[in-house]
Amino acid sequence: MPHPAQLDGNEENRHRDAVSHFVVRLAYCRTEDLRRWLLTQECHLFKHRFEELLPTDKVAVMEQAGLNYATLDAREFNDVKNQLEVVQRLANPTLTAIGLREIMNEGHSSFYAVPFEEVPDLVRQRKVLLRGGRAYIHRTALTSLVVGAFRSQLSRALAITARKWNARFAAEEADRLAPIVESLSSRYLGEDYTGRASDGGAGVALAELDALASTSFPLCMRNLYSHLKDAHHLRHAGRMQLGLFLKGIGLSLEDAMTFWRAEFCKKIPNDQFDKQYSYSIRHNYGKEGKRADYTPYSCMKVIAGTPGTGEHHGCPYRTFSEDNLRAALRGMRLSGPAINDVLDKVKGKHFQLACGVAFAASHNGCECDEGIQHPNGYFSASRKLLAPQGAQKAAAGAAVGGAAGPSGGALPVTPAVGTKTASVVALGDITPAHEGEHAPE
Ligand code: SF4
């Protein structure tokens, strides 16, 4: 199957595209999770590029891939015409009567009958007529067919690469390529969000945190924040995940110390906090130990975290049971259909896409342009929508009574209540399936 990028007239672009594809293929062939992730991303890219092609180029890609499907003949079209019309109407609820008539008037040369297993997307969404093991599709649905073929071909290729890599090259290349290949899949190459405040960025003040948690924190951080407010304690992994995130959104070291002390010292004396916890907070800000400026965790790193009993780090889209996730999403004021949409993505193990759906649903339908790659990226995108033109602080204050949306209208955010936001309270009521009571560390 040729990649649509291979139709690019620029040879250098084609060459770079091919090289980067095979490097990524090698890095992401090693486990089932990695293969699934790469398949999803590559199929999205393929689909996007295919849809951008001119009709003649689409035909060229299909011919090169050996997808030579014949259109229906007039007799078969007449046999199924009425059923096709019903399916078209049900599959496209927004289609007007005129639009439907235009599609049907195109006649038999615009419809194809293909083996149903080659269009699993359309079958799952009930968007095709099935008859005798064949799916009848309109020419506009060809993308699904081509993407399906691309997916199965890449899936096979990844399995072969994994087998060869494990059988031979991993050992042969143990000192040379293997360390690079193994580290590539866990490397985050986007913005690192280290130390916004110390870089002279906008920064956030301690007093704004509750309001910001209810409007602009992604679910992984809302969950930790809520547990901290409820239990006045978080275990090490949770403190690292939340602490570095707060540092990344611009909480100063001084405010971070005040914040953690205020929570922990509801349960333990001040001097115990100084002995046990203040060092690691200063350490995160590069003031102790190696004095490294530690980077907030990317989604990949958070998703890889597996919380044990009494721990709350990790990505809730991966770690929560369905019931708990539903409750958490209701706490974010998501509608029923939006919650179902999120859960669909979670079932397919597309956690970052699920988070993207939740982002859009809680920001008046506005999507995070770059996709969800980093919890701090989620926060920045949210602030840009809720508090444009750098008016973050004013908007954060306003969020206490309902933040201004992109168009100036009120967003469906939960107002802050005292020192604890209502949505944070809702999250605090959730007990993940694996949680239990724990003594402070
Ligand atoms: S997808 Fe990323 S930002 Fe969203 S909850 Fe999971 S780890 Fe956090």
pLDDT for the residue 405: 34
Residue 103 lies in a domain: yes
Residue 292 lies in a domain: yes
Residues present in the chain in total: 441
The average pLDDT across 222-242 equals 97
User: Which of 154, 187, 220 is the C-terminal boundary of a domain?
Assistant: 187
pLDDT over 80 at 17, yes or no? yes
- Mark whether 130 and 257 lie in a shared domain: no
Cα dihedral 94, 42, 368, 342 sign: positive
Whether the Cβ atoms of residue 92 and residue 62 lie closer than 8 Å to each other: no
CA distance 415 to 418: 10
User: Which of 133, 156, 187 is the C-terminal boundary of a domain?
Assistant: 187
Share of the chain above pLDDT 90, in %: 41
pLDDT for the residue 196: 53
Work out the angle at residue 244's Cα, subtended by the Cα atoms of residues 199 and 348, and round it to the nearest 5 degrees.
120
- Mark whether 151 and 51 lie in a shared domain: yes
For residue 238, report the distance from its CA to the centre of ligand 1, in Å.
Answer: 14
Residue 322 lies in a domain: yes
- Mark whether 213 and 358 lie in a shared domain: yes
- Mark whether 25 and 146 lie in a shared domain: yes
User: Which of 187, 221, 242 is the C-terminal boundary of a domain?
Assistant: 187
Ligand 1, residues 297, 315, 353, 376: which to mutate, most atoms within 8 A of Cβ?
A: 315
pLDDT for the residue 232: 96
pLDDT over 90 at 55, yes or no? no
- Mark whether 183 and 211 lie in a shared domain: no
Q: For residue range 181-207, what is the model confidence (pLDDT) as tens digits?
A: 887 776 767 777 775 544 445 688 999
315 lines ligand 1 (CB under 6 A): yes
Minimum-distance ligand 1 atom for the alpha carbon of 373: 2
pLDDT for the residue 317: 97
pLDDT for the residue 4: 60
141 lines ligand 1 (CB under 6 A): no
- Mark whether 8 and 151 lie in a shared domain: yes
- Mark whether 224 and 108 lie in a shared domain: no
Residue 313 lies in a domain: yes
Q: For residue range 339-359, what is the model confidence (pLDDT) as tens digits?
A: 999 999 999 888 999 999 999
- What is the span of the domain harbouring residue 151? 1-187
Whether the Cβ atoms of residue 284 and residue 294 lie closer than 8 Å to each other: yes
CATH number for the domain spanning 137: value is 1.20.930.80
Minimum-distance ligand 1 atom for the alpha carbon of 318: 6
- Mark whether 181 and 210 lie in a shared domain: no
Whether the Cβ atoms of residue 27 and residue 20 lie closer than 8 Å to each other: no
Cβ neighbours for 378, distance < 8 A, ≥ 6 positions apart: 216, 217, 218, 355, 359, 368, 372
Residue 23 lies in a domain: yes
Q: Which of 164-178, 292-306, 378-392 has the lowest mean pLDDT?
A: 378-392
- Mark whether 152 and 212 lie in a shared domain: no
- Mark whether 165 and 279 lie in a shared domain: no
381 lines ligand 1 (CB under 6 A): no
The residue whose C-alpha atom lies closest to atom 3 belonging to ligand 1 is: 375
Q: For residue range 415-440, what is the model confidence (pLDDT) as tens digits?
A: 232 333 333 323 333 333 333 333 33
The residue whose C-alpha atom lies closest to atom 1 belonging to ligand 1 is: 352
pLDDT over 80 at 56, yes or no? no
pLDDT over 70 at 5, yes or no? no
Decide which of 62 and 237 is more confident. Answer: 237
- Mark whether 260 and 407 lie in a shared domain: yes
CB count, 10 Å around CB of 347? 10
pLDDT for the residue 78: 92
Decide which of 149 and 430 is more confident. Answer: 149
In the block, residue with structure tokens 């090259």: 169
Residue 74 lies in a domain: yes
For residue 373, report the distance from its CA to the centre of ligand 1, in Å.
Answer: 8
For residue 116, report the distance from its CA to the centre of ligand 1, in Å.
Answer: 35
Residue 183 lies in a domain: yes
Structure token digits, residue 395: 């908007």
Minimum-distance ligand 1 atom for the alpha carbon of 315: 6
Residue 440 lies in a domain: no
pLDDT over 80 at 383, yes or no? yes
Q: For residue range 396-413, what is the model confidence (pLDDT) as tens digits?
A: 443 333 333 333 332 323
Angle in degrees, 0-180, between the axes of helices 322-331 and 336-347, rounded to the nearest 10: 140
Total count of domains within the chain:
2
Q: What integer best gives the mean pLDDT of the chain?
A: 82
353 lines ligand 1 (CB under 6 A): no
pLDDT for the residue 251: 94
For residue 317, report the distance from its CA to the centre of ligand 1, in Å.
Answer: 7
pLDDT for the residue 336: 94
- Mark whether 24 and 116 lie in a shared domain: yes
CA distance 118 to 130: 12
pLDDT for the residue 2: 65
